[in-house]
Amino acid sequence: MRQPQTLRPDQLLLVCLLVLGMLLWQPTLAQVVRPRTEAVEAAIKRIEAGLLPSFSIAGRAPITFRLTDRMQYHQVPGFSIAVINGGVVEWAKGYGLLEAGGSATVTEDTRFQAGSISKPLTALAALGLVQEGKLALDEDLNTKLTSWKIPANAFTNKEKITLRRALSHNTGLGDTGLNAANGYPATDSLPTITQILRGDPPSLTSPVVVVRVPGSGAQVSSEGYCIVQQAMMDVTGEPFATLMADRILARVSMTHSTFEQYRPAQWREGVAAGHVKGKMLSGKWRLHPAMAAAGLWSTPSDVARLMIEVGRTRAGQSHKLVDKRWVDSLLTPQPGNEMRGLGYYVHGSGPNRCFYHRGWNYGYTSYSIAFPDLNKGLVLMTNADGEGYRLMMEVVRAVAREYDWPTDLPVEAAPQTVKRAISPGLEVYERLVGRYLLANSTVGEVVVTDGQLYLQAVGKPPVRLYAETEEDYFSEDGLDLLFPTERGVRIGLLFKDPINRYLASRVFTPPVRTKPAKGNGQ
């Protein structure tokens, strides 16, 4: 009988390596992107042609917009999307340009600044350090900080800033003028995180101090995330971008993401430049040394992979990032802030529960939402300032309709509502006519033409305004407005955005009449 052949040691090693490689290659749900089927292509086309504004008018067919038209209307040069369905990235696509007036186009791999979407990643990495015993969730952070200490005062004598309070924006910290989203011009010297906390040059901020009792009430605070950034660096001895790459990005195959703050000369390809009102920022983008709060560069597909991984960890199917108990904390509303867990906003209940986060950096907007029990969600990114947000919400509604999402959504992404328009008459309209100082110091005019009321903003086609009452108005493309009075005097024009409200002051009152051109992005 022939004796079995014995492998030499070098042959045995080769076989073992091949088997190990095959095992490691097996894709996880977080890495899979499905090939596009005809059904998916048809869904993409319906979404691209079916963007939905906030409102429709009773008795009329709901108006829809084309994505490319709305990008032009909202002055959004570039846009990128990744849709989660069935627990994977079903499709991803880029639209428009890296730079206004340029020729390089956005692809699904184009990097954008993700703004505050950085915060949930920071929270996950911090919770990983808690799991390892290097940080503690409910202990005084000063016991872990070595490079800088939270200054003691009467407020900190009553309660301490803990990691839990910092991650859920309940620190009692004052406003230092940080506004992490504004960042620093790409030509400037960058402060370290320690210099930001101390208020030392070249930081443009004042020192971080506690002005209320920690834990006494939630208030969004990038300063709290700066403290977390310093604490994570102190307990690991690593640069923040490095520890985030090792603990989050690499573990979820976020291959097009980084927290490094590259200047334009260092990073020339595949990067979207920031824009405000359709014009590219001087220097293309700003730098964000407050990386924990606003430093992430990423793509919708990469962020979607992270959200899928969060859902899988919550379901007990993965432990790549942290154990299930810490993801449960990430998604559990915290004391004093019932909308926010330790990183993500949370909304809804039961199988319709979702977690989400918005992102804004100067020149960029982004949005992410996922339904872990339904295995659905999306991530959107634009290289445009505030107007990019309105575009994204129109896309969210189109995707929600196409993929049959729950109707109980966060307020800014809520399904289209039906409004009833009245006709208050020309005399009422004439009292509203005038010029109003809008956001970013631009001037808009409210005019009456052919017996109807219009808002004319600089650089945009006129928008017809419909009356709900003599003071409340809306437009088919999603504007929700109020013309308030004070002691009988019209004082301005209030924009009732679902997230923020701002009052445009009335600066000129005589009637100005123009004949509106066709517009509204239709």
Half-sphere exposure (CA, 13 Å, Cβ side) for 142?
11
Spatial neighbors of 135 by CB under 8 A, at least 6 apart, are 126, 129, 144, 163, 231, 232, 235
Q: What is the CA radius of gyration of the chain?
A: 25
Amino acid at 29: L
By the 8 A CB rule, do 364 and 300 touch? no
Spatial neighbors of 6 by CB under 8 A, at least 6 apart, are none
List phi, psi (to 5°) of 355. -125, 145
By the 8 A CB rule, do 473 and 466 touch? yes
Domain 112-413: assigned CATH number: 3.40.710.10
pLDDT at 180: 66
pLDDT at 437: 87
The angle at the Cα of 72, spanning 452 to 421, to the nearest 5 degrees, equals: 25
By the 8 A CB rule, do 289 and 187 touch? no
By the 8 A CB rule, do 251 and 318 touch? no
Q: Strands 55-57, 417-419: parallel, antiparallel or unpaired by DSSP? A: parallel
**Alpha-carbon gap, residue 342 to 427, rounded angstroms:** 52
**Alpha-carbon gap, residue 439 to 458, rounded angstroms:** 11
By the 8 A CB rule, do 273 and 363 touch? yes
Could you list the beta-strand ranges (E) of 101-225.
112-113, 184-185
DSSP string, 384-426: SSTHHHHHHHHHHHHHHHHTT--S---GGGPPPEEE--B---H
pLDDT at 519: 52
Q: Which two tokens stand for residue 307?
A: 């959200």
Other CB atoms within 10 A of residue 374 CB:
20
Q: Which two tokens stand for residue 163?
A: 């990691």
3-class SS at 453?
strand
List phi, psi (to 5°) of 192. -75, 165
3-class SS at 116?
helix
Cis peptide before 202 (omega within 30 of 0): yes
Sequential pLDDT tens for the chain (522 residues):
444 444 454 444 444 444 344 333 333 333 445 678 999 999 999 999 999 998 889 988 888 999 999 999 999 999 999 999 999 999 999 999 999 999 999 999 999 999 999 999 999 999 999 999 999 999 999 999 999 999 999 999 999 999 999 999 999 998 887 876 789 999 999 999 999 999 999 998 999 999 999 999 888 889 999 999 999 999 999 999 999 999 999 999 999 999 999 999 898 789 999 999 899 999 999 999 999 999 999 999 999 999 999 999 999 999 999 999 999 999 999 987 778 899 999 999 999 999 999 999 999 999 999 999 999 999 999 999 888 899 999 999 999 999 999 999 998 888 888 999 999 999 999 999 999 987 666 778 999 999 999 999 877 789 999 999 999 999 887 889 999 887 777 778 888 876 667 788 888 775 445 555 555 443
**Alpha-carbon gap, residue 123 to 357, rounded angstroms:** 13
By the 8 A CB rule, do 280 and 274 touch? yes
By the 8 A CB rule, do 507 and 494 touch? no
Could you list the beta-strand ranges (E) of 296-397.
297-298, 345-347, 354-361, 364-371, 376-382
Q: Which two tokens stand for residue 287?
A: 């730098």
**Alpha-carbon gap, residue 227 to 219, rounded angstroms:** 15
Nearest to 345 by CA among 362, 367, 324, 323: 367
In order of 100, 131, 483, the CA distances from 183 in angstroms are 21, 31, 34
Burial of 302-321, coded b for 16+ CB within 10 Å and e otherwise, reads bbbbbbbbbbbbbeeebeeb
CATH 1.10.10 fits 421-508, yes or no: no
Show me where the domains of the chain are located.
112-413, 421-508
